[in-house]
Chains A and B, each alone.
Chain A
Amino acid sequence: MKLTEKELEIVEILEKDARTSTEDIAKMLNLSLEETEGLIKKLEESNVIVQYSAIVDWSKIAGHEGVTAMIDVKVTPKRGVGFDEIAERIYRFKEVKALYLMSGAYDLSVVVEGKSMNEVAHFVSDKLSTLDSVLSTTTHFILKKYKHDGTIFEQNDDDRRIVVSP
Chain B
Amino acid sequence: MNKMMMTEELWCLLNMKKTSYLSKTVEELKPSGIRRFFDLAAGMEGVISLGVGEPDFVTSWSVREAAILSLEQGYTSYTANAGLMELREEISAYMGQSFGVPYSPKNEIIVTVGASQALDIALRAIVDPGDEVIVIEPSFVSYAPLVVLAGGKAVTVNTKKENDFKVSKEELEQVITSRTKAIILCSPNNPTGTMLGREDLIGIAEVAKKYDLLILSDEIYAELSYDEQFVSLAAIEGMRERTILISGFSKGFAMTGWRLGFVCAPEELTQAMLKIHQYAMMCAPTMAQFAAVEALKNGRGDVEDMRKSYRRRRNYFVHSLNELGLECHVPGGAFYVFPSIKSTGLTSTQFAERLLLEEKVAVVPGDVFGESGEGHIRCSYASSMEQLQESIKRIKSFIERP
Contacts and interface: CB of A to CB of B under 8 A. Distances in A.
A18 interface: no
Given A9-B308, A27-B319, A166 B53 contact: yes
B389 A163 contact: no
Among B42, B52, B141, B190, which residue has the most Cβ atoms of chain A within 10 A? B52
A27 B47 CA distance: 25
A98 interface: no
A166 B362 CA distance: 13
Looking at chain A's contact residues, is the secondary structure mostly helix, strand, loop, or mixed? loop
Interface residues of A, number: 17
B320 A163 contact: no
A165 interface: yes
B274 interface: no
B372 to A, nearest CB: 17
Contact of B52 (A12, A20, A30, A164): A164
A12 to B, nearest CB: 8
A161 B52 contact: yes
A24 B312 CA distance: 10
Contact of A27 (B141, B142, B316, B364): B316
Contact of A28 (B37, B53, B315): B315
A13 B316 CA distance: 13
Interface string A132-166: 00000000000000000000000000010111111
B333 interface: no
A29 interface: yes
Interface in A80-112: none
Given A24-B389, A27-B319, A159-B56, A164 B313 contact: no
B41 interface: yes
Given A9-B308, A9-B312, A29-B315, A166 B389 contact: no
Given A28-B315, A30-B319, A164-B38, 14 more contacts: A17-B385, A24-B389, A28-B313, A159-B56, A161-B54, A162-B42, A163-B47, A163-B52, A163-B362, A164-B34, A164-B41, A164-B52, A165-B34, A165-B52
B258 interface: no
B195 to A, nearest CB: 17
B315 A163 contact: no
23 contacts: A9-B308, A9-B312, A12-B308, A27-B315, A27-B316, A28-B312, A30-B315, A30-B319, A161-B54, A161-B56, A162-B52, A163-B38, A163-B42, A163-B47, A163-B49, A164-B37, A164-B42, A164-B52, A164-B362, A165-B54, A166-B34, A166-B142, A166-B190
Among A13, A28, A166, which residue has the most Cβ atoms of chain B within 10 A? A166
A41 B300 CA distance: 33
Interface string A15-31: 00100100010011110
10 closest A-B pairs (Cβ-Cβ)?
A164-B51, A28-B312, A27-B319, A164-B38, A163-B41, A27-B316, A165-B53, A28-B316, A163-B49, A166-B141
A21 to B, nearest CB: 9
A77 B152 CA distance: 80
